[in-house]
Amino acid sequence: MYTFGRRWRRLAPYGFLLPALLIYLLFAFGPSMFTIVYSFTDISGVSGVGWHWIGLDNYKELFHSARTPVYVASMKRTVVFSLSVTLLQTAIGLLLAIVINSKLRGHLFYRSLVFMPVVLGVTVFGLVWTLMFNPMDGPMQKLWGLFDSSSTFLGSYTMAFPIVIFVQMWGAMGYTTVIFLAGLQTIPGELYEAGYIDGARSWSSFAHITWPMLAPTVTVNVLLAIIGSLQTFDIVFVLTGGHFNTSILGYEVYRSAFGGNAGNLRQGFASSVAVLQFGIVLIAAVIAQFYLRRREVQI
């Protein structure tokens, strides 16, 4: 009985983890492996249509075809998109967290307000911003009119992409702010008191106490922002449908696989684009983690 009890205590944690592991294998790891396999086939996803093993042909087409400039442009745009979203999301999220953590009046309401886009979801807030930037009678058009100017906003080659970056950043801001807020609340108040006695005021206190103590939190937020922005597809789909130089790799996967925006139901080829996207995400995440972890050690 004693042996059984010890064995149960040793195996029980694995039993509790088993349901989550099965869900991960079924809905994440399994489809990922199938995507890699499909990238070497000409599968279309159309019922009744056969498919064949074609080796590296999809990858050759990706880098050596008439559409190669389109995918290269999408890759460059994806990098710019990810860097912009990560920098803005991290900086503004930290600022909001500091303001909310200062216990200003109504801080609980503001915390809920900042997190609201996460609860609403991409489709809902994407449509809201589409209405906001409506070139006919949207609020932003009326505001633009105060300066005797006008714009098509999401229909403009110069403004559409910055707007997509802004909306993506705004939609994910809740996660970043809440994580920073949790990090701020773990910093002992005694450190600020000691710093105040030594003459540290607002900026000195932030530079020498808050920022160093937030190093692990910054690492988490930057990694989440990089991975999330590099995988983005939905906000581009909702706001512009990939038009006006806003298509990024995530949208190219959708376009090739499901026919969006003149796509052609080539799920095998789309899988090769997805594998390329995964490679970019993995490399970016590893590099970012390496430098951020080294920064933590130095601090």
pLDDT of 2 > 60? The answer is no
267 neighbors 45 (Cβ within 8 angstroms): yes
How far is residue 159's CA from residue 153's CA, in Å, rounded to a whole number?
A: 6
Q: Residues 190-214: what's their mean pLDDT?
A: 82
Q: What b-and-e string marks burial along 98-112, b requiring 16 or more CB atoms within 10 Å of the CB?
A: bebbeeeeeeeeebe
How far is residue 38's CA from residue 33's CA, in Å, rounded to a whole number?
A: 9
- 97-114 pLDDT, tens per residue? 999 988 778 778 888 888
Q: What tokens does 98 get?
A: 């500091």
Give the residue with greater pLDDT, 298 vs 24.
24
Give the residue with greater pLDDT, 168 vs 63.
168
Backbone angle region of 49, left / alpha / beta, with phi > 0 → left and psi within -120 to 50 → alpha: beta
pLDDT of 260 > 60? The answer is no
User: Rounded mean pLDDT of the chain?
Assistant: 86
How far is residue 38's CA from residue 90's CA, in Å, rounded to a whole number?
A: 36
- 31-73 pLDDT, tens per residue? 889 999 999 998 887 766 778 899 999 999 888 877 788 888 9
Which residue, chain included where needed, has tokens 């997190």? 115
**What phi, psi does 29 have (nearest 5°)?**
-65, -45
CA nearest 246: which of 170, 160, 171? 160
- How far from 138 is each of 122, 126, 128, 132, CA to CA, in Å? 20, 14, 10, 5
Give the residue with greater pLDDT, 10 vs 154.
154
Give the up-direction half-sphere exposure of residue 151: CA atoms within 13 A in the CB hemisphere: 17
Fold of 60-297: MetI-like fold (1.10.3720)
275 neighbors 36 (Cβ within 8 angstroms): yes
How far is residue 123's CA from residue 139's CA, in Å, rounded to a whole number?
A: 20
The H or E element containing residue 211 is helix 211-213
How far is residue 46's CA from residue 122's CA, in Å, rounded to a whole number?
A: 28
238 pLDDT band (50/70/90 cuts)?
very high
Q: How many residues does the chain have?
A: 299
- 119-137 pLDDT, tens per residue? 888 889 999 999 999 888 8
The predicted pLDDT at position 298 comes to: 64
Q: Give the rounded distance of the alpha carbon of 270 from its chain centre.
A: 20
Q: Can you state the angle between helices 160-184 and 215-230, rounded to 10 degrees?
A: 150
163 neighbors 240 (Cβ within 8 angstroms): no
pLDDT of 1 > 70? The answer is no
CA nearest 59: which of 46, 34, 41, 44? 41
pLDDT of 7 > 80? The answer is no
Considering the entire predicted model, what is its pTM?
Answer: 0.86
What is the residue extent of each domain of the chain? 60-297
How far is residue 111's CA from residue 92's CA, in Å, rounded to a whole number?
A: 14
How far is residue 264's CA from residue 270's CA, in Å, rounded to a whole number?
A: 10
